[in-house]
A and B are shown apart, each in its own frame.
Chain A
Amino acid sequence: MSDPHHQSDRAPGDEGEGQSGVAKGILGYGIGLVLAAGLTIVSFGVAAGYGWIYQPGIPVMLLVLAVAQMGVHLVFFLHITTGPDNTNNVLALAFGTLIVALIVIGSLWIMANLNHMNMSPGEMARHMGGF
């Protein structure tokens, strides 16, 4: 409780207790690089259609891999963690994510709806037939 480090704030990008090592810092970035590179390679492999996974599952798999890689970047490169000294940064990130989700999902939803309303009867029939 008398240790000020545990109640303080941390700038995004700052690592924990400094100095203790160049080696530790390089290791952190190295792990991030390896994980990110691995996820990227898997992403491109899945997209190339080598038949690694069930074909219709590819888009979902790609999105999951992308979210995982963004997480790796946030933790190992931007040093946004769940530590108590990172609360403000994480809250700002959560708010940003909320807005991004609202914009993207909201736009897709509204525009899909509009497209549906604007269909000519012929298009409508084709569309329904597609199901």
Chain B
Amino acid sequence: MSAAAADPHNLRQGHGHGPRGNAAGPDEHGHFDKRIITGYGFWIFLLSDIVMFSALFATYAVLAHATAGGPSGKQIFDLQNVALETGFLLLSSFACGMAAIASEQKNLLWTEIGLLITGLLGFAFLVLELREFADLIAHGNGPTRSAFLSAFFTLVGCHGLHVGCGLLWLGTMMAQIWAKGFRAETVRRLMCFNLFWHALDIIWVALFTIVYLLGAGQ
């Protein structure tokens, strides 16, 4: 207790904790740990991204029955494919969490392995999604077919675009960690990537439920 009283904000950081172990409150000048500020800022960005997705979801929900004589969701959705995509993305999210744990331990090998598995599973997800899109377009059910399909391609494609950008970011992170090691700024970027990847999985949960499962049931 006396140690804590003498150093209430843990400024000396003598406990040998990792990057997150030290006190996270403001120091005597009111400055927060940069990790907290970065994480909070990125969380705000993610929420704004989710708000953008909600507009696409609303558009889809409004247009879901406007098939203009074209196929409905029930006729074109392949739930087996969707289940596989869901599995890949969920395992990818888990692998990303494992990479985060390894990076806290500053274990280069396991961090890279975790990120590699994350990336491969994310890539598999993207391949399945693109195959589904190519298949639909080949059968004349592209985004120009009906308002329903326009909304479908916009919503699902926007999520796929996020996953694609995430994969590029992931590759950059792997290279940075490999070349520069666990610097404070690199670890912060990795934390942001983790949040981004988990948030994409949350959006996918809403997506497979509202678009695919509810769509196939109608």
Contacts and interface: CB of A to CB of B under 8 A. Distances in A.
A78 B195 contact: yes
Contact of A104 (B4, B58, B86): B58
Interface string A23-63: 00110010011001100100110111100000000110011
Given A4-B25, A78-B195, A78-B199, A14 B101 contact: no
A33 B90 contact: yes
A86 B213 CA distance: 33
Interface of A: 2-5, 7-15, 17-19, 22, 25-26, 29, 32-33, 36-37, 40, 43-44, 46-49, 58-59, 62-63, 65-66, 69-70, 73-74, 77-78, 85, 88-89, 92-93, 95-96, 99-100, 103-104, 106-108, 111
A78 B100 CA distance: 11
A33 B109 CA distance: 23
B86 A11 contact: no
Question: Which 3 pairs, one residue from A and one from B, show the smallest C-beta to C-beta distance?
Answer: A11-B39, A8-B25, A96-B47
Contacts, number: 168
B4 A11 contact: no
A104 B206 contact: no
B201 A77 contact: yes
14 contacts: A5-B23, A9-B24, A14-B39, A22-B101, A29-B101, A32-B97, A40-B86, A40-B205, A73-B198, A78-B198, A78-B199, A104-B58, A106-B58, A111-B62
B62 to A, nearest CB: 4
B20 interface: yes
Interface string B182-218: 0000000001001100110110011011100110110
A44 B214 CA distance: 10
Given A4-B9, A63-B209, A108-B62, A37 B90 contact: yes
Interface stretch (B30-38, B122-130, B152-160): B30-38
B148 interface: no
A13 B39 contact: yes
A19 B209 contact: no
Contact of B205 (A26, A73, A95, A107): A73
A59 B214 contact: yes
Interface in B19-64: 20-21, 23-25, 32, 35-36, 38-40, 42-44, 47-48, 50-51, 54-55, 57-59, 61-62
B144 interface: no
Given A8-B23, A107-B59, A33 B94 contact: yes
Given A11-B191, A43-B208, 11 more contacts: A3-B4, A4-B8, A9-B36, A40-B83, A44-B213, A47-B214, A48-B79, A92-B43, A96-B51, A100-B51, A104-B57
